[in-house]
Structure 1
Amino acid sequence: MPNDNNQDKEPGLFVSHNENNASVAQQEDPIAGTSNTTTGQVEENASAESTNLPLKKFIEPTIRHGLMSIVRSSWLNVLLVFIPLGWASHFVWNPTTTFILNFVAIVPLAKLLGFATEDIALRTGEVIGGLLNATFGNSIEMIISIISLTQNLVIVVQASMLGSILSNILIVLGMSFFCGGLRYKEQRFNITAAQTSASLLFISVVSLLLPAAFYGSTVNAETAAKERSDILNISRATSIILLIIYFAYLVFQFLQVPVEAFKVERQVSRIKLFNNNNNNANARDEECIAPETPVEREQAKGDEEEESPSMPWWMAVLLLLIITAFVAVCAEFLVPAIEQVVEQWHISETFVGLILLPIVGNAAEHVTAVTVAYKNKMDLALGVAVGSSMQVALLVMPIMVIIGWGIGVDMSLFFNVYETAVLFASVILVNYFIVGGQE
């Protein structure tokens, strides 16, 4: 008897409703495969067999199922106890303890942030999911930078922006390639989306050369104040242009480009379909998704079967907002604590901005990118790593310049020659790695 009752099925899973599609498809063309079969008929049958999947109905997860999925998402959730400890230490204990506790508290929050973003990406797609994750991940850099600007810590803000870009395109992207390579011999990704983000990142980095080039060409400036004023004017004009480019990119991403333009280019194997009637060597190449080894085939099959949203969409969005707020509070407590640690540990402000703050701010991106890369979702991993760097360069840095302009802080896009050269070389290296669409 047919059973249409799906209430006993586990929420969040796809339930089959048409188990006899294969036999029906075979009955539609009984003469397929005979000596009189044409190439078009063979191609049609092969396509029907390769795409002959049961019709599936998605059961929306319940609230209870979503809560259990959040609790069981990672063993790192046991570290959530450090959140109240880190907040309390800001008012009770010394700055070093506050720094350590809040730093540890961000680790499970970063994991939950990636979990919520991945759940939303299952509904919106990997490209939009990567853009969403990069946006929420950069909220930490935004809050830390605004707090630092209000305290006139321009060097810390500039170093943190530079460190955030470098850590994303070097550490996060490198670890994603490494962890994905541990499981898969070869991984492919969407060349269009990746090169779009990389090209925009390159444009933003080139724009950072303008203040440095102007500084190097004005050694005979009348006064140092006049030179700083000119650099500020160039930086502010450049920031406005970068913001326009970023919003134009959003329009391109969501309104102008059809969804088909961002389909993932998977690894393919070629199947030659011959015309037995003509008995010649004319062949047609048919693309089909096929992992290289049986192990990878089982892994990919398992991932596809298990990948379904584990919570209602509104719960995933609410979790994303709450976790982002918690991470922002922890990061906000880190700022005054780090200032005291600088004095006690005898380290420079540049080290704090270039090394420490990017580690805190990019914890969410690092965990998420490595996790999805291990699951062979390289589009989402690149969207997190390269997309986050692109958003820092096109959105966060220009906004910091505009905010500094509004509150009377001389925030500019001027970096010294060494910092500019390192950033430029890193972006060139990333463009070289992703140009082929595989790693």
Structure 2
Amino acid sequence: MNQKLFFTLVIVLTALSGWAHYFTHSAGLQFVTTSAAIIMLAGLLGKATENVAHYAGERVGGFLNATFGNAAELIIAIFLIKEGLFDMVKASITGSIIGNLLLVLGLSVIAGGLKFKEQRFNPLLAGHNASLMLLAVIALFIPAVFLKQLHAERTETLSLIISGLLIVAYILWLFFSMVTHKEELADQARAEEEAEGHMWGKGTSILILIVATVFVAITSEWLVHSIKEVADSLGWSEIFVGAFVIAIVGNAAEHSAAVFLAMKNKIGASVEIAVGSSLQIALFVAPTLVFVSLLFGKPMDLVFTSYELAAIGVGAFIASSISRDGSTNWYEGVLLIIVYIILGAAFYFL
């Protein structure tokens, strides 16, 4: 898309969503315009992050893309916590994890696989990612198993302990992967860096990252104000809205960046964005939200429903199974998308 046209769309949709929020009483119009604005702003975040990655390196760039890509979802979740919509928050966490593992990774593998017969990336990194996802599944599974044996106060305490440990594990993983074992986990199949697509300087890219994040925060609050009314009018459950609607809107940055990188034969960076984003949600964002909830005087626990745990477990299993050998093809992407659609249908009829 032409750069000038892209910026024009971002400005127009953001202004339109502001008009709908402040000057209309239509929750449907507010929801549609705000979702469109967030998707465009998330795309702007992804483009700015890709430019920063050009200067910072592929692994750091993938981490930044995952981080700023998750900014929209984190901000939306904080506003949902403020409103006391814990079920929707947990569903959005579930949707983020399976959306990145299945939808983002699946689309990336298909897009890259249709252009290149086989794409390869570091299998050692894939193995570590699989182990970390297993840790996340275990950490989310334990509170649900012990729920019946614990009082509410002890459940909250257990959630805080697990959250603290997950944050420590994630920080240590960043140190391990980017400092002590940086060379071993580098993308061995990295293609030559292409000059095209890096239109902005480092300073401009960082400024755009900051400005876009601020506007994502503003539009996210507008989205939260309309989403419950829209869900009720359409007969959608909170768990479906959180797991699929919010997750797809919030993951727009990862969608675009990961797919475009795969089409440039940089599947390692795509995997870093998709799987790295899921790990960041499970090991950092979800635990952080537990601590954030304390600031609003409404403690949130880490007790997920059996449906959510099953979805996360299934997503982690098939994504690990497909990516563990360090190579991908388009058919493996199709398998990931099929599993995502199956889960979507199940959540819709729940």
2:176 to 252, 255, 258: 252
Structure 2: distance between partners of 1:230 and 1:257: 38
The answer to whether the 8 A contact 1:127-1:193 is kept is: no
Q: Which residue of 2 aligns with 1:82?
A: 13
Task: Kindly state the Cα deviation for residue 305 of structure 1 after the two structures are TM-superposed.
Answer: 5.2
> Is 1:234 the equivalent of 2:175?
no
The answer to whether the 8 A contact 1:160-1:358 is kept is: yes
Matches within 5 A, 1:303-314: 304=193, 306-307=195-196, 309-314=198-203
The answer to whether the 8 A contact 1:141-1:361 is kept is: yes
Count of matched residue positions in the alignment of Structure 1 and Structure 2: 326
Q: Which residue of 1 aligns with 2:118?
A: 186
Structure 2: distance between partners of 1:417 and 1:309: 44
Higher share of residues assigned helix = 2
Q: Which residue of 2 aligns with 1:261?
A: 184
Structure 1: distance between partners of 2:3 and 2:122: 28
Task: Kindly state the Cα deviation for residue 75 of structure 1 after the two structures are TM-superposed.
Answer: 5.5
Percent identical: 37
Task: Kindly state the Cα deviation for residue 266 of structure 1 after the two structures are TM-superposed.
Answer: 2.6
Task: Kindly state the Cα deviation for residue 140 of structure 1 after the two structures are TM-superposed.
Answer: 1.2
Q: Which has the larger radius of gyration?
A: 1
Matches within 5 A, 1:281-300: none
> Is 1:161 the equivalent of 2:99?
no
Structure 1: distance between partners of 2:29 and 2:273: 31
Task: Kindly state the Cα deviation for residue 255 of structure 1 after the two structures are TM-superposed.
Answer: 2.8
TM-score normalised by the chain length of structure 1: 0.70
1:201 to 133, 150, 153: 133
Q: Partner letter of residue 315 of structure 1?
A: T
Structure 2: distance between partners of 1:74 and 1:213: 53
Q: Partner letter of residue 99 of structure 1?
A: F
Q: Which residue of 2 aligns with 1:278?
A: none
1:140 to 72, 86, 106: 72
- Provide, for residues 342-395 of structure 1, a one-character-per-residue CA deviation record: whole Å limited to 9, x for no partner: 232232222221121101111111111111111111122111111111000111
Q: Partner letter of residue 174 of structure 2?
A: L
Q: Partner letter of residue 261 of structure 1?
A: E
For the aligned residues, what is the CA RMSD? 2.1
Q: Which residue of 1 aligns with 2:246?
A: 357
377-386 or 185-194, which deviates more: 185-194
The answer to whether the 8 A contact 2:46-2:68 is kept is: no
TM-score normalised by the chain length of structure 2: 0.87
2:49 to 114, 117, 122: 117
State the secondary structure of the residue aligned to 1:265. Answer: coil
- Provide, for residues 394-417 of structure 1, a one-character-per-residue CA deviation record: whole Å limited to 9, x for no partner: 111101111223433231111122
Q: Partner letter of residue 187 of structure 2?
A: V
- Provide, for residues 150-207 of structure 1, a one-character-per-residue CA deviation record: whole Å limited to 9, x for no partner: 1111111111111111111111111111111111111111223333333222211111
Matches within 5 A, 1:261-280: 261-266=184-189
Structure number with greater CO (CA < 8 Å, separation at least 6) is 2
Structure 2: distance between partners of 1:182 and 1:438: 14
Task: Kindly state the Cα deviation for residue 253 of structure 1 after the two structures are TM-superposed.
Answer: 2.9
The answer to whether the 8 A contact 2:177-2:185 is kept is: no
Q: Which residue of 2 aligns with 1:13?
A: none
Matches within 5 A, 1:29-68: none
Matches within 5 A, 1:410-429: 410-429=299-318
Q: Which residue of 2 aligns with 1:330?
A: 219
Structure 2: distance between partners of 1:404 and 1:304: 42
